[in-house]
């Protein structure tokens, strides 16, 4: 009479547990020490309105979405009007939220931060992986030091779960110098500084001349463009101009 051999369930279970623990430790290490991203001249896409949003490539590339406009009221407070882009879930994509701001840098950061947080929560409830809030100030000559302080304050208000970014205009630095404090240390928590090529490019300039002019201000920057540039040309620009970090492409 043959003795029936017992299956080595304990051994199988131990192997499975070991594999799970190994996978978890590997994932934790990737969070702490993420692998270097593949170098590209195209940093992210940008959706300016619902038309652009519909034409975004159906992939997992990062995207910045203009979600609304914050306008200053007569009493100095701000109200935010949502754009025509309907909040949806964008799975497996890094999502940035851009807000146009019209008016002076507010005296009360807390009130401004709360209205931005409200719009952020609308997109957050759709289970999006939000990484950054970009403030695009529409002003002839904003108080740049105060603007940087506001961006830092916003990130702190959001418990540092998100980076902040600032839309810049070349005309600002043609009228007044870059704040001395920015040359010593850029505002904490601000990840991206973005120029729009339509504003930044001067008549007769090549793209390389525009990049060189923007680099002279000493701030690392991105440039928003309407048509994707040749990847090799973009990387060549980044090699020659270390402060230039790539393009944000509308659609």
**What does the pLDDT look like over 16-66, one tens digit per residue?**
666 656 665 565 555 445 555 578 999 999 999 999 999 898 889 999 999
Distance, CA of 189 to CA of 94 (rounded, Å):
18
Domains of the chain, earliest start first: 39-250 (3.20.20.80)
- Give bridge partners of residue 244 from the DSSP assignment: 221
**Residues 66-123: tens digit of each pLDDT:** 999 999 999 989 999 999 999 999 999 999 999 999 999 998 899 999 999 999 999 9
Model pLDDT, residue 210: 98
Q: Is the pLDDT higher at 55 or at 10? A: 55
Q: Which residue has the tokens 């009221």?
A: 73
Give this prediction's pTM.
0.83
pLDDT the model gives residue 22? 62
At residue 31, the pLDDT reads 44
Hey, is 6 helix, strand or coil?
A: coil
Backbone φ and ψ of 38, nearest 5°: -65, 130
Calculate the alpha carbon distances from 191 to 96, 102, 210 in Å: 11, 22, 21
pLDDT the model gives residue 39: 82
Locate tokens 């902040």: which residue?
164
Mean pLDDT of the 117-144 span = 95
The 10s digit of each residue's pLDDT in 156-187 is 999 999 999 999 999 999 999 999 889 889 99
Per DSSP, the three-state class of 100 is strand
Cβ atoms within 10 A of the Cβ of 196, count? 19
């Amino acid at each position: 009479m043959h003795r029936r051999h017992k299956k080595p369930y304990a051994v199988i279970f131990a192997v499975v547990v070991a594999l799970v623990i190994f996978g978890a430790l590997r994932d934790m290490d990737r969070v702490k020490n993420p692998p270097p991203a593949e170098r590209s001249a195209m940093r992210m896409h940008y959706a300016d309105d619902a038309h652009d949003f519909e034409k975004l490539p159906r992939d997992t590339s990062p995207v910045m979405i203009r979600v609304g406009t914050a306008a200053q009221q007569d009493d100095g407070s701000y109200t935010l009007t949502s754009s025509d882009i309907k909040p949806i879930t964008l799975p497996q994509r890094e999502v940035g939220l851009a807000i146009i701001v019209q008016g002076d840098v507010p005296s009360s950061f807390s009130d401004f931060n709360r209205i931005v947080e409200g719009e952020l929560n609308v997109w957050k409830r759709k289970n999006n992986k939000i990484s950054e809030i970009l403030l695009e100030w529409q002003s002839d000559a904003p108080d740049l030091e105060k603007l940087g302080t506001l961006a830092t304050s916003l990130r702190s208000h959001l418990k540092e779960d998100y980076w902040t970014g600032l839309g810049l205009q070349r005309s600002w630095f043609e009228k007044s110098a870059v704040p001395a404090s920015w040359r010593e240390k850029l505002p904490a928590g601000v990840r991206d500084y973005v120029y729009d090529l339509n504003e930044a490019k001067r008549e007769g300039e090549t793209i390389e001349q525009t990049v060189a002019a923007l680099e002279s201000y000493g701030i690392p920057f991105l440039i928003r463009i309407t048509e994707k540039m040749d990847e090799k040309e973009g990387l060549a620009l980044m090699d020659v101009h270390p402060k230039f970090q790539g393009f944000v492409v509308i659609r």
